[in-house]
Structure 1
Amino acid sequence: MMKEKILIVEDEPKLAQLLNDYLEQELYECHTIADGLDVVDWVKAEQPNLILLDLMLPGKDGMSICREIRQFSSLPIIMTTAKVEEIDRLLGLELGADDYICKPYSPREVVARVKAVMRRYKSSPEDEAQQGDVLIDESSYQVSVFGQTLELTPVEFRLFHYLYRHAGQVFSRDQLMDKLYNDGRVVTDRTVDSHIKNLRRKLAAVTEQELIHSVYGVGYRFENI
């Protein structure tokens, strides 16, 4: 059986080696990169299954790398950072990171987070739901519209799935925040608006329709395709 490939982007050699050792014990294939400038080209060539991405790197920072990768891939990204300010966490998630871990952390915690994120990306046929021109696969977090796959982050997928299942209903930002995050994470209205904006753009590219409508003073409503 082919091993799942994890890219560790970390410029602290001892920490990178520690993560490598723990993940290889769990039978993952690991590769480490210390310079941010080398990451995007490697990802395009090797197509890893998950990236552990440090925020502060020489050459190019983790935020910029995450933004570039999200332009061509929805592969799982877990950001690691010693900067604990909420704005950094929010920006990382808005750019498309699937999770974040604050330093100092336990390598066992990292392994557990990696396993949890990987489980969300594994697909099985019974989790697929076909409704008209929309195909939703809950295990792989994939949505196809008119036969075209949308490159959605996990948060965008949950947002689309919830709105689509409740088409025609209006939801406030607070209600949507409760559905997007289930780990007690602190998020703001701006975070929801950012995800809505990205989701609208991706839907418009394949449908040429405005499917998510703003309801002034209330929130958002999804109209069926």
Structure 2
Amino acid sequence: MNTILIIDDDSHIVNLVEATLRDAGYHTHKAMNGIEALSLLERYAIDLAIVDVMMPKMDGYTVTRKIKNNYDIPVILLTARGQLHDKENGYIAGTDDYIVKPFELRELIFRIQAVLRRYDKPTTYTINLGDVKIDKRNYEVQIGKQHLIMPLKEFELLALLASRPNQVFNRDNLIENIWGIDFQGDERTVNVHIKRIRERLRDVTSTIEIVTVRGVGYKLEVTS
């Protein structure tokens, strides 16, 4: 399930878009300005950002450039401006799409779906971090010349964390992505699986480490 960050200083727009996205099955985070948005990006794994152009403290073009320079995620600019040079500035900043207010909420959903499809590349089947190679096609972890076979949920959890190094995943997000939204367990399930993964990796590699972020969740760091 994809997570979308909504960035707009208009609380009415933010709440309306958030409700629409949640009804469509997306996780959401929201920020009222660029500084708050960049802080959220450091803490959570975000799959797409919707960015308003006209905001205090940091305009949408600047936010877009910072996102593109630091995170491999798509951006949709959301703005009241419709002039050609405004769109040009958006695409120069790196936006993947551009939608002008007022807009149909269904159209926004269609555009989100289209952009996310473009980012769903086959190369994401393999993750390489130092001497660690994670192959999501055959559920195998290769460390140097050694092959590590892991239980399915442990593998999926490791692969998810490794897909976004240094980004924090909260426990609820991990549960929904790995076990599903209807899972009846709690965060202790995540904690136990993380402990087992750490034990498996401890003796075979020092390249990656799963770090606990107190009060939030976990992130995977590349240590060498």
Tell me how far 1:71 sits from its aligned partner. 1.5
Structure 1 match to 2:45: 47
In structure 2, runs of 5+ residues without a counterpart are: 127-224
SS in 2 for 1:70: helix
SS in 2 for 1:27: coil
Moved more, 104-113 or 34-43: 34-43
Structure 2 match to 1:67: 65
Which of 16, 20, 30 is the aligned partner of 1:22?
20
Structure 1 match to 2:30: 32
Q: Give me the identity figure in percent.
A: 30
2 CA distance for matches of 1:15 and 1:68? 23
Higher radius of gyration, 1 or 2? 2
Structure 1 match to 2:87: 89
Q: How does 1:1-225 map to 2 (within 5 A)?
A: 3-124=1-122
Asked if the contact 2:30–2:37 (Cα under 8 Å) also holds between the matched residues in 1, the reply is: no
TM-score by length of 1: 0.53
2 CA distance for matches of 1:103 and 1:71? 26
**Structure 1 moving runs of 4+ over 2 Å:** none
In structure 1, runs of 5+ residues without a counterpart are: 129-225
Tell me how far 1:104 sits from its aligned partner. 0.6
Q: Deviations over 1:76-108 (max 9, x none)?
A: 000011111211100111111000000110111
1 CA distance for matches of 2:79 and 2:110? 17
2 CA distance for matches of 1:22 and 1:100? 18
Structure 2 match to 1:211: none
2:96 corresponds to which letter in structure 1?
A: D
2 CA distance for matches of 1:118 and 1:66? 16
2 CA distance for matches of 1:122 and 1:74? 12
TM-score by length of 2: 0.53
Moved more, 9-18 or 102-111: 9-18
RMSD, matched Cα: 2.0
Q: Deviations over 1:119-168 (max 9, x none)?
A: 1111347x99xxxxxxxxxxxxxxxxxxxxxxxxxxxxxxxxxxxxxxxx
Count of aligned pairs: 126
Structure 2 match to 1:156: none
Tell me how far 1:41 sits from its aligned partner. 2.2
2 CA distance for matches of 1:96 and 1:64? 10
